Structure 1
Amino acid sequence: MLGRRKAGAPPSPWRLTALSALSGLALAAVTASLAGPWDNGQRTAERARAAAVARAGDADHDAKSPRKDAAAPRAMEHPPREELGEGAAPGYDAPAVLRPLGPEGHRPTQAAEAADGTATRAPLPTEAGLRAALRPLLADPALGSLRSAAVWDVASGRGLYGARPHAAAVPASVTKLATGAAALGALGPEHRIATETRTAGRTLYLVGGGDPTLTGARLDRLAELSARALKPGGKPLTLRYDTAAYTGPARHPIGVNDNLAAVTPLMVDEGRLDGSYSGPAPRTPDPAGEAARLFARHLADHGVKLTGAPTPATAPAKAGKLAAVHSAPLGVLVERMLTHSDNDLAEALARQSALATGRPASFSSAAAAVRARLARMGLPVKGVRFADGSGISRGNRAPAAFYARLLVLAGHPDHPELRPLLTGLPIAGFSGTLDARYDQTPGAGVVRAKTGTLTGVNSLAGTVVDADGRLLAFAFLANGTTDRDGAQRALDKLASALADCGCR
């Protein structure tokens, strides 16, 4: 028996429980207008629920895409942590936003059980049932010449089904799941990236720490704090800007591309020139220099006199710290990266993993740091290759089983620091790179997945609640595709089949 839900039949009680715990879509719809400028309400709803228990189509990165997220604002403003105060950060120390639903393996915490009144005990799908539901869909020629598929149970941590699950494939932007996991594991979800000013003599240094979400407003705040800390009067200052936090080439090997700015630790609004917030956009060729020149204007507005134009230089070790502003917490940055498939954030977070372990922050060292961190978490990295943090590179290789297991790990109660990997996943037909997909399919609102698209590469990895209320992690990687839209539809059918099937 496959346990399929009849068309038009109401969801089972277990499914309703799971959907309430996992999606919070109704609450999200109500609170969307009250949430942060990039948060569609889903993140706010999930954090609120977690706190009560415990106490935004992916671009084809080989070409310019005309699609823009016109409704999204230019920049994410989050309560900044500064030298003179600290904004509240979302609480990621709650048990599990997406907690295990089944009785096998690790059980829900007592707090979680008390909140719902009972622990969900949804039946486990069988391999035969999953094979019957998925094998015909995996035969779709739109999925190209190489298909790697894996389905795992989150509660028990068991692999349930695989079709060449260990065949290494190019994952495209699904790579961002690994990037986010490494950064969260290395630094924790509350870590914030600093942009600082330092002084040595009559020289003021603007020091980039690797926050691509730095906004003009926050840079103005840094100028205000710096001006307040400087001694009034005296000779004009010389402004220098420091990008020494990163090493190696600033350009991705793909070259100049609207999907990614030059990778530098100092930039404003990801170097975007068109006022957009996500997706491809024209970029300034000199993000750090543009940021420094804007900072100079802000300093002048706050009464600081400068001599000459800002130029690049590394702050000497003796330079004293003057002021700082900070990014949103790392957990929020990971969510944004996954929801909007933000390449600039992905490359920045990979470099944060490198910096956390004392490695140089370059493309190659960041990739090595990500791999080392995931191996330390117990994930099987043999045969897994990382070439960048964003997934734009075709040098990235991983099998579907690797990403399914990574998602299972993110749902384990022993790893609450990884929860933003799940809460940041786009929701089918609702948010991020899945907002225009899954129209009138069983997966709408139930499938949550990271998309990946390059020419000839289509991928999807995430979580889904099946018809019986079981939380499953899946990864479907397709290489050698020739019809991008057809491949995306085929992937969506696979995930929807899991949503619509008890598969027993």
Structure 2
Amino acid sequence: MVVPELRPWRAAGPQLERIANAVRPRLARAATAAKPHLARWTRARGPRPPHLRRPRSVRTWQYTAGAATAGLALAAGVVTVAGPWDADGQRTAERDRAVALQRSGGADHGGSGTAAGAPRPAPSAAPVLVGLDAARSAAGTLQAAPGGKAFSDVLGPLLSASALGDTHTAAVVDVATGTRVYDAGADKALTPASTTKIATAVAALSALGPDHRLTTRAALEPDTGELVLVGGGDPTLTAHEASDGWASLRTLAANAAKALQRRGIHKVTLSYDTTLYSGPALHPIGVNDNLAPVSALTADEGRADDSTSGPAARASDPAQAAAGEFAGFLDAAGITTTPPGPSKASTRAETLATVSSPPLSTLVERMLTNSDNDIAEHLARQTALASGEPGSFDGGAKAISARLTKLGLPMSGASFHDGSGLDRDDRLTAGLLTGLLVTAGDPERPGLRPVLTGLPVAGFTGTLADRYTDSAAGVVRAKTGTLTGVNTLAGTVVDADGHLLAFAFMASGTTSPTEAESALDKTATALANCGCR
């Protein structure tokens, strides 16, 4: 196996060249060790089904941490230094960039999207095949280079930094063997902030599957002639022009208008149905620019302006606002409507038109990359409905916990109150977070792979776009979490010896978000560089 030369991509900029030079040695060592194992893995796996085969135009292998999992002596994946993947676990850079720049969601801890001035994501970044070193002892411990430091010697002092407050916990797991190689209070439950979204993602994919789509429909009541806009809980529904597979109210209205006109109908009583969900729509934190009231019908996350990411004022009634947009589109298509009001579609209502979200795998990736609270709360409710629970905050929390318990994850001390992590009463452990990441890499559970492929890429995408720009850019992939006094980081990293490690760092009682983030970033960077034993 030959590690591709990196020089052709150096035009992407000095930052990318530094990353390439730092990463090349570890990749070469890992690739050499992985070659025979990858050949056997490829033969055993057999050809991909047609719908999973990559286009001929896509010539690059890209990293997916999901190929590695507990119980395997070797796991292999494919990495680009920039890190985006396509729908079968390896998102393309083009789609990632479009999501980051045009339709990214709200975050409770800063902006999202590609950092200004950062190198453009792959294919400008070099594709490099990464295999995890097959050398493991019978006990499953890491085989580091001679003289490698102990994890505790490297991570202990960094995690004890005053910037990380009065309480911190940590766990590091060798993903290929499932062995916990570092433990600092890993079973102590703390407030996880947005790393809760990792749990929400695993639960939603487990309950619904990666191909599940959320459908919004327009239905005509046969007796009254009432047209009902029925919300299906799609948090990515937009009132803008449809593109890249995202569902649009404009498209739905245009198709519904055509169906009505074929029936000779040019005027309707318009209503909207939000009964898919139940319970309070407002998150326990109250009115907040980071999250709209959670409704089964919403467009553009209820944003009251033209923003597509970050905090923004939200409509107090997203369903009514979306129905108003829909009415305007119908009017433009030649259908006159009454002012819309709430209703419930009967079982006899005839569906005239539908629009569906991208597959759940795409929603999960977008949620994790941009720390999108709106998507998170909808996925929690969808998990509840798939599990026979009410589509509410309480139902979602109960369903997430039940799904993770069923997967055999360590749930001691865990407590869920929402899907986004905005609720300060949420509790997770570092051990559970690393367990979620290892489970997402289990080859027996390929439907969970978007949990890994959706993690932000250090220095390039999502909530890590502006972090690690001078250290482990492109090497660390992690979900961030920030609330007042709380800072967390959980993700994956390939270390200096080619091992894939899952890590979770949790801190409580922090006083400076910026200093805490810097301390966590230094710790993750040290983990990437240490080649520890």
TM bin, normalised by shorter chain, reads: 0.7 to 0.9
Are 1:499 and 2:499 matched, yes or no?
A: no
Asked if structure 2 preserves the Cα contact closer than 8 Å seen for 1:102 and 1:156, the reply is no
Give 2:29's aligned amino acid.
W
Q: What corresponds to 1:23 in structure 2?
A: 79
* C-alpha distance in 1 between matches for 2:83 and 2:159: 35
Q: Which residue of 1 aligns with 2:25?
A: 11
Question: How far apart in 2 are the matches of 1:16 and 1:103?
Answer: 13
Indicate the RMSD between aligned Cα atoms, in angstroms. Answer: 3.0
Paired residue secondary structure (1:475): strand
1:426 and 2:456 matched: yes
**Alpha-carbon distance change, 60 to 309 in structure 1, aligned in 2, over 3 angstroms:** closer
Q: Please name the residue that 2:198 is paired with.
A: 177
Per-residue CA deviations over 1:222-263 (Å, capped at 9, x if unaligned) read 112212323432472111100001111111111111000111
Match of 2:369 in 1: 339
| Length-normalised TM-score, structure 1 | 0.81
Q: 1:243/1:359 Cα in 2 relative to 1: closer, same or farther (>3 Å)?
A: same
Quote the residue 2:419 is aligned against. 389
Instruction: Name the CA shift for 1:186/1:268 in 2 (closer, same or farther; >3 Å).
Output: same
Match of 2:384 among 331, 354, 360: 354
Find the counterpart in structure 1 of residue 51 from structure 2: none
Per-residue CA deviation, residues 326-373 of structure 1 (Å, 9 max, x unaligned), is: 011100100000000000000000011011122111001100001111
For the 8 Å contact 2:148–2:530, the answer to whether it is kept is no
Matched, 1:38 2:94: no
After superposing the two structures, state which structure 1 stretch, 131-140 or 172-181, moved more.
Answer: 131-140
Give the whole-Å Cα distance in 2 for the aligned partners of 1:176 and 1:344: 11
Alpha-carbon distance in structure 1 between the residues aligned to 2:481 and 2:291: 15
Matches within 5 A, 1:441-452: 441=471, 443-452=472-481
Superposition deviation, residue 439 in structure 1? 2.5
Task: Specify the alignment match of 2:489 in structure 1.
Answer: 460
How big is the shift at 1:320?
2.4
SS in 1 for 2:156: helix
Alpha-carbon shift at residue 209 of structure 1 (Å): 0.8
For residues 399-436 of structure 1, the C-alpha deviation after alignment (integer angstroms, 9 at most, x for no partner) is: 10110011011111111111101110001111110111
Give me the whole-angstrom Cα distance separating, in 1, the residues matched to 2:281 and 2:130: 37
The equivalent of 2:47 in structure 1 is none
Contact 1:458 1:479 in 2 (8 A): yes
Look up the equivalent residue of 2:451 and give its one-letter code.
L
2:298 and 2:369 map into 1 onto residues whose CA distance is: 21
1:160 aligned partner, one-letter code: V
SS in 1 for 2:408: coil
2:439 equivalent to 1:409: yes
CA distance in 1, matches of 2:23, 2:489: 28
- 1:208 partner amino acid: G
Please state how far the C-alpha of 1:501 moved relative to its aligned partner: 1.1
Q: Is the 8 A contact 1:99 1:411 kept in 2?
A: no
Counterparts in 2 of 1:197 and 1:485: CA distance versus 1, 3 Å: same
For 2:106 and 2:336, the matched residues in 1 are separated by: 45
1:46 — aligned with what? Answer: none
Identity %: 52
* Residue in structure 2 matching 1:143, options 144, 164, 171: 164
> Please, which of 310, 316, 319 is the counterpart of residue 288 of structure 1?
319
Distance 2:24 2:200 in 1: 38
CA displacement 1:187-237 (0-9 Å, x = unmatched) = 111111000111213011101011111011311111122123234324721
Deviation of 1:34 (Å): 6.9
Q: How many residues align?
A: 438
Picking from 178, 183, 186, the partner of 2:207 is 186
1:167 aligned to 2:188? yes
Tell me the distance in 2 between the aligned counterparts of 1:309 and 1:402.
Answer: 49
- Alpha carbons of structure 1 residues 468 and 57: separation in structure 2 relative to 1, 3 Å: farther
Contact 1:68 1:276 in 2 (8 A): no
Task: Please tell me the residue identity of whatever aligns with 1:38.
Answer: V
1:70/1:276 contact within 8 Å kept: no
Residue 307 of structure 2 corresponds to residue 276 of structure 1: yes
Which among 324, 344, 352 is matched to residue 354 of structure 2? Answer: 324
**What does residue 143 of structure 2 align with?**
123
Q: Which residue in 1 is equivalent to 2:6?
A: none
Give the superposition deviation at 1:483: 1.2
In the TM superposition, residue 14 of structure 1 has moved relative to its aligned partner by: 2.8
Instruction: Name the CA shift for 1:70/1:174 in 2 (closer, same or farther; >3 Å).
Output: closer
Contact 1:212 1:269 in 2 (8 A): yes
Contact 2:368 2:479 in 1 (8 A): yes
Structure 2 stretches lacking a partner, 5+ long: 1-20, 35-61, 64-76, 86-90, 117-128, 242-247
Show the 5 A alignment for 1:167-246. 167-200=188-221, 201=223, 202-216=225-239, 217=241, 218-230=248-260, 231-234=262-265, 236-246=267-277
Q: Note if contact 2:107-2:373 (Cα within 8 Å) is conserved in structure 1.
A: no
Give the AA of the match of 2:99.
Answer: W
Shift of 1:302: 2.0
Amino acid at match of 2:333: H
Contact 1:242 1:313 (8 Å CA) reproduced: yes
2:3 alignment counterpart: none
Change (3 A) 1:58 1:148: farther
**2-side partners of 1:240 and 1:9: how far apart?**
57
Measured in 2, the distance between the counterparts of 1:387 and 1:400 equals 18
Kept in 2, the 8 Å contact 1:14–1:122? The answer is no
* 1:485 paired to 2:514: yes
What is the letter of the counterpart of residue 172 of structure 1? A
Q: Which amino acid in 2 is paired with 1:197?
A: A
AA partner of residue 98 (structure 2) = P
Q: Distance in 1 between matches of 2:327 and 2:106?
A: 36
**1:438 maps to which of 465, 468, 473:** 468
Q: Taking structure 1 as reference, are residues 419 and 10 closer, same or farther at Cα in structure 2, changes over 3 Å only?
A: closer
SS of the residue 1:185 aligns to: helix
Relative contact order (alpha carbons < 8 A, sep ≥ 6): 1 or 2 greater? 1
Contact 1:100 1:411 in 2 (8 A): no
